[in-house]
Amino acid sequence: MGVCSVQRYSRLSLPCFCIQDMRVNSFILGLYREDFVLFARTCFENFGDRVKHWATVNEPNMLAHSTYRLGDCPPSRCSPPFGNCSAGNSDVEPFVAVHSILLSHAKAVRLYREEFRPKQGGVVGLVLHSYWYEPYNDTESHREAVNRALLFDVAWILDPLVYGDYPDKMRQYMGSSLPNFTAEETALVKGSLDFIGINHYTTFYAIDCFQSPCSALANRPSLGFVDKTGFKEGIPIGERTGLPIFFIAPRGMEKIVEYLSTRYPNMPIYVTENGYATNSAKELDVNEILNDSKRIEFHKSYLAALSKAMR
């Protein structure tokens, strides 16, 4: 299966607060690509003798969601009902931004493979944020909603880097709003991935918006007509953590790794982030803080789930 739970690696991606200082809208205008390759070259030249596992971009799916859908992060572009920004299109621009990010990644990988790998012997991958989803009800429509949620979260990023294009179902729903790769770009991005890194924290229920009521934020082509929730009939999908939107559901770790291993056979998978958010220290007694038993239980359960996926 090629699964590893811990691995030393370095990320090339620029932090969110730095993007504001770059050329305006460089992601959606494609100006970011050559800047990123220059940045990658600088890193490879200066640290490549020590770093053997490189991750070009951390969570491009969440980056696009925060910057071009919700507008929470510079350059803060969005449109209703997602937010009230001065400019932007929340249904289109996240996909244009990711398109540029994927091409930037692929160019950095090509650079490394051609100029640095022969001497340094490293590998280059990418890290994505990866929820797991379970059907809200055991019906075909909600099971299909799970598949669409994973396509629009995970395969959106990884399919081009492995197979050379976005998932067919995404094109079916989004039409011309989803960017196209030229023949040259397809050749560049296809196979430009040595490993998959995943940041996995929690699991949600997926709701099919074709058959069930959904929020205005979810009932739209750009999200695959899928809504997500951590509750069913008032009962959480798992024990809640100190971060209200995160629930303890270790089975999700096993399932997301199995999904990736099936969709992308023989691709090494590194779990790059996973962890437990505690409540505020003011809400905990001293013994609970010192013993940290909840965090210990969390990691034991998630590592056990990961172990099952590795067998």
Active-site residue list: 59, 273
Tell me the two tokens of residue 311. Answer: 């067998």
Tell me the two tokens of residue 38. Answer: 């220059």
The Cα 45–Cα 37 span in angstroms is 12
The Cα 282–Cα 297 span in angstroms is 21
The Cα 125–Cα 131 span in angstroms is 19
The Cα 70–Cα 52 span in angstroms is 35
